[in-house]
Amino acid sequence: MTEEITYADLEFNKPYALENIPKSAAPEEKGRPASFPIWRLAALTFLTLCLALLVGLLALGIVFFQVSSDFQKQIGNLKQNQETLQTSSSKRLQDMKDNLCLKGEEKNKNNGPNCILCPANWQWMGGDTCFYISREKRPWKQSREFCSLQNSTLLMLQDKEKLNHVPPRETRDNYWFGLSCKSEGDGWHWEDGSAFSAQRTDWDHGYKYYQCAYLYDRKIFKGDCSQKHLWICEKAAVQLRVQL
């Protein structure tokens, strides 16, 4: 009887003891890290940045391709415009040469890339000199002043062969040129200051008191400076380089 009671007591107390034992945490809850949501957010942010960078690179590539294409088109247009300008420039230079360059020396400079230019109303007969032959008559001093205003001088004939290049003129008229004598003792000098050789065969000694020289036909004579004659100026011609 006593044994039965004891057993009954043990059976009654066993569930009570089990109910008071604390339950252990679930395995999955026990091993889950506390920072898992932060890592997930960081990975998502990194992925978003990568996608944004990729989109930016694609956009830059498209823009670069478009700019490069436009640049190539502009280079092509510039080359075409350059060729057009060169053609137009060459044509204008050729027209300028045809209109400005002096004729009459087909076998010399004006047949090449260079040509000779003289001012209006001046003449050129080959060589590097332009000549002006007046149509009115003045005293020697006024004739000299006219030439000076044209940035030229009265004709100087240190070499008498230079007459071969002087344009045709009236052989019956007198022409002042650049030879004078300040006083009887100073001797005769050209406009550039060089001395005149009185031993020349084309020199007519004539009246010794005259101080200016004029040209009659191909001979030099002394003359009264106050007399009015035609005159001849000379100046260096302009050489134009035309590169077609």
pTM exceeding 0.85: no
Note down pLDDT in tens along the chain; length 244 residues: 444 544 445 454 555 454 555 555 554 444 555 555 787 788 888 888 888 888 888 888 888 888 878 878 888 888 888 877 777 766 766 666 666 666 544 444 445 566 788 888 999 887 889 999 999 999 999 999 999 999 999 999 888 888 888 888 888 899 999 999 887 667 889 999 999 876 776 777 666 788 999 999 888 899 999 999 999 999 998 887 765 5
CB 141, CB 163: distance < 8 Å: no
Rounded to whole angstroms, how far apart are CA atoms 1 and 91?
Answer: 143
Q: Which helix (H) or strand (E) holds 68?
A: helix 36-100
Is 121 within 8 Å of 132 (Cβ atoms)? Answer: yes
Ordered DSSP codes for 86-132:
HHHHHHHHHHHHHHHSPPS-TTSGGGSSEEEE--TT-EE-STTEEEE
Element (H, E) at 174: strand 174-180
CB atoms within 10 A of CB 125: 15
Instruction: Encode 104-119: b = buried (16+ Cβ within 10 Å), e = exposed.
Output: ebeeebbeeeebbebe
The per-residue pLDDT for 75 is 86
Tokens of 124: 């050129």
Which pLDDT score, from 0 to 100, does residue 100 have? 61
Q: How far is CA 198 from the centre of its chain?
A: 52
Long-range contacts of 202-207 (CB under 8 A, 24+ apart): 202/160
| CB count in 10 Å sphere of residue 35 | 8
> Could you give the CA distance from residue 178 to residue 143 in angstroms, rounded to a whole number?
10
Pull the structure tokens for residue 136: 């009115």
Distances from the Cα of 15 to the Cα of 7, 10, 12, 29, angstroms: 14, 9, 7, 27
d(CA 131, CA 236): 9
**Distance between start and end Cα atoms, the chain:** 143
Task: Tell me whether strands 174-180 and 230-236 are parallel, antiparallel or unpaired.
Answer: parallel
